Chains A and B, each alone.
Chain A
């Protein structure tokens, strides 16, 4: 088993994607004004408040995983100016996204619970003059760009390991030299983000969730479809590429990783949610417990997908 790339990187890549996806889900409700159909929206509350802590936690784990970063943390500051490294892109993206997420969460709380705002306002009269919703919209818009950057970065980080572990830098198609991992991780991040905010938090707290979000099954079906195609292409391109990439793909699809892949990724993350949302699209509604199960399946499969991709990466033979 890989000793360097295992559970810890899988968890922080997952947290990065989950936070970014949750932010995008909340920002979408903000832009479509759906958030304002109710006074306190649990979906935007979770999607605005949690990304900051989740991504920050992932970043702490990342620093913990970097041996030198832990022993000599000041060296991390050198990375801000090392522009030829993708790590520098990441450190800038995270440095902007985390504070923006925290501000977004703060503004969402202020908007949802105005009495807290008023209590603070008595002490700081300047705060009362702030147009909360307008600023929140700007923060959501700018933050969305960095959320996409964060989700893409989790994949770019892997694909940048490049020639050393060919499976991670597998291209979208054999003749299209665009790395697959950033795209796959972006779609997976959005899926897990919607899973946490809408499927889990929304279903738990909003009795009329399904009536409010009638297009949700369609969105889920589209995301599951895109993610399945990307995952299929990843394995196919890796097979065509041959060598260490093909061996990794074989391990996942038919080899020792196949049990985890089919039972813990494809079944709960693709097949079950696909069936649930296809039925929901046809019938108009489905049991809430089933919806919760589909949401949980998507989130857990997102984590396990990253783990399997990581542990299956085989270094090239030099």
Chain B
């Protein structure tokens, strides 16, 4: 096609020209065809935000260093409160940089200057910044049968309520994309109680389905029961760590169905009273051993220098049988030896007839 007397290297500038021509040609073609096509709906483009991660290095360096914070804080408690895990700066919002939300003076080692103009909760002062990205906030989550007062917060009619009141931890570990951490219902309840608002279930939970074994117990029993599964000081935590779920202990499904049929929001909840055999199913080595094995475990236990086996307290006496739950509680603090003092109110273990 090219004249035979043209040098072959001429294809290089021609090739480059063709690449450029393709771009210009493509541009003209698209613009021409788009002129005949219906206009696409304007694509909502996330606005540019004042990305300040590179200017937040000094904040991160200090607030992730416990030693540094102890040296510069007024008290140990304040240092503890100001400390943030380094991993929190890698969360979706954390990557925006501290200064993006908390303002202050960026990129300075001077502590006083750095904290000048600092805001604790950005959503109090710059709520519109949250709304830049979070545009379509629903008032009802149909899948979860849950109400959330987003409209009222945005239009200001929810008195004093800001985004940060519910989503305050968003920059510090809470990941709204994976949903690994959800807002605790305890936070909703606490806030409602503080503001003297209605705490009935139906205020937030709409069209609650009938109870079934698949129902999330946390919907109604978050406080204190489900919450206790995360309290390391309670036995419920140890059981949860072993992989036990609510229905492993609360396993009378027929009974549960009955009580839930007539349950009312805020109504009383009866505690489960398990028999000793239920605990022994797991806590003794096998079916051939028995409570005797438990007694052996605390054979040398002493209270006030007196050898008293708490698992065999009334040995040799014909007393009423004891149950594990008298001393060991699941969802609240266990009374342990204090359970004995209900009867032994003088805090000695003499027979009743010694005094009475």
Q: Which residues of A contact B (CB under 8 A)?
A: 1-4, 7, 11, 14-15, 18, 40-42, 45-46, 49-50, 53-54, 75, 78, 109, 112-113, 163-164, 196-197, 200-201, 203-205, 207, 251, 255-260, 263-264, 288, 292, 296, 299-300, 303-304, 307, 311, 313-315, 317-318
| Known contacts A50-B19, A204-B2, A315-B45, A1 near B11 by CB under 8 Å | no
Query: Is B29 at the interface (CB under 8 A from chain A)?
Result: yes
A-B contacts, 13 of them at CB < 8 A, read A2-B43, A2-B45, A3-B45, A46-B12, A46-B15, A204-B14, A207-B1, A207-B4, A260-B33, A299-B22, A303-B23, A304-B26, A315-B43
CB-CB contacts of B43-61 with A at 8 A, as 1s and 0s?
A: 1111000000010000000
How distant is the Cα of A139 from the Cα of B311 in the complex, in angstroms? 80
**Given A300-B25, A300-B29, A315-B43: 18 more A-B contacts, CB < 8 Å:** A11-B23, A45-B12, A53-B16, A112-B9, A196-B18, A201-B11, A201-B18, A204-B14, A205-B8, A256-B38, A256-B41, A260-B30, A292-B1, A299-B18, A299-B22, A313-B43, A315-B45, A318-B176
Cβ contacts under 8 Å, A7 to chain B: 27
How far apart are A283's CB and chain B's nearest CB, in angstroms?
20
- Size bracket, chain B contacts: 35 or more
How distant is the Cα of A54 from the Cα of B18 in the complex, in angstroms? 12
CB-CB contacts of B259-273 with A at 8 A, as 1s and 0s?
A: 000000000000000
How distant is the Cα of A144 from the Cα of B26 in the complex, in angstroms? 28
Cβ contacts under 8 Å, A259 to chain B: 33-34, 36-37
Cβ contacts under 8 Å, A50 to chain B: 12, 15-16, 19
Pair B30/A264 contact, Cβ less than 8 Å:
yes
* Total of A-B residue pairs, C-beta within 8 Å: 121
* A315 touches which of B22, B26, B44 (Cβ 8 Å): B44
How far apart are A169's CB and chain B's nearest CB, in angstroms?
12
Most chain A CB atoms below 10 A, which of B23, B136, B176: B23
* B33 touches which of A54, A264, A299 (Cβ 8 Å): A264
Most chain B CB atoms below 10 A, which of A109, A196, A201: A201
How far apart are B58's CB and chain A's nearest CB, in angstroms?
16
Query: Is B243 at the interface (CB under 8 A from chain A)?
Result: no
Query: Is B356 at the interface (CB under 8 A from chain A)?
Result: no
* A307 touches which of B2, B8, B9, B30 (Cβ 8 Å): B30
Cβ contacts under 8 Å, B23 to chain A: 11, 14, 303
Query: Is B177 at the interface (CB under 8 A from chain A)?
Result: yes
Pair B15/A264 contact, Cβ less than 8 Å:
no
Pair B22/A303 contact, Cβ less than 8 Å:
yes
* B11 touches which of A18, A42, A263 (Cβ 8 Å): A42
Q: Which residue of A lies closest to B44 (CB)?
A: A315
CB-CB contacts of B150-188 with A at 8 A, as 1s and 0s?
A: 000000000000000000000000001100000000000
| Known contacts A15-B19, A259-B37, A4 near B29 by CB under 8 Å | no
Query: Is B345 at the interface (CB under 8 A from chain A)?
Result: no
How far apart are B42's CB and chain A's nearest CB, in angstroms?
7
Pair A42/B8 contact, Cβ less than 8 Å:
yes
Query: Is B134 at the interface (CB under 8 A from chain A)?
Result: yes
Pair A314/B29 contact, Cβ less than 8 Å:
no
Pair B9/A318 contact, Cβ less than 8 Å:
no
Pair A197/B15 contact, Cβ less than 8 Å:
yes
Cβ contacts under 8 Å, B258 to chain A: none
Query: Is B256 at the interface (CB under 8 A from chain A)?
Result: no
How distant is the Cα of A225 from the Cα of B62 in the complex, in angstroms? 57
How far apart are B29's CB and chain A's nearest CB, in angstroms?
5
How far apart are B353's CB and chain A's nearest CB, in angstroms?
73
How far apart are B276's CB and chain A's nearest CB, in angstroms?
50
Cβ contacts under 8 Å, B16 to chain A: 50, 53-54
How distant is the Cα of A303 from the Cα of B44 in the complex, in angstroms? 24
- Within B128-149, the residues touching A (CB, 8 Å) are 133-136
Query: Is B40 at the interface (CB under 8 A from chain A)?
Result: yes
Cβ contacts under 8 Å, B46 to chain A: 164, 315
| Known contacts A42-B11, A204-B11, A304-B26, A1 near B133 by CB under 8 Å | no
| Known contacts A299-B22, A311-B43, A317-B135, A304 near B177 by CB under 8 Å | no
Pair B34/A260 contact, Cβ less than 8 Å:
yes
Pair B30/A304 contact, Cβ less than 8 Å:
yes
Q: Which residue of B lies closest to A317 (CB)?
A: B136
How distant is the Cα of A177 from the Cα of B282 in the complex, in angstroms? 42
* B42 touches which of A1, A18, A204, A304 (Cβ 8 Å): A1
How distant is the Cα of A304 from the Cα of B30 in the complex, in angstroms? 8
* B9 touches which of A4, A113, A255 (Cβ 8 Å): A113
| Known contacts A1-B42, A204-B11, A264 near B18 by CB under 8 Å | no
Pair A264/B45 contact, Cβ less than 8 Å:
no
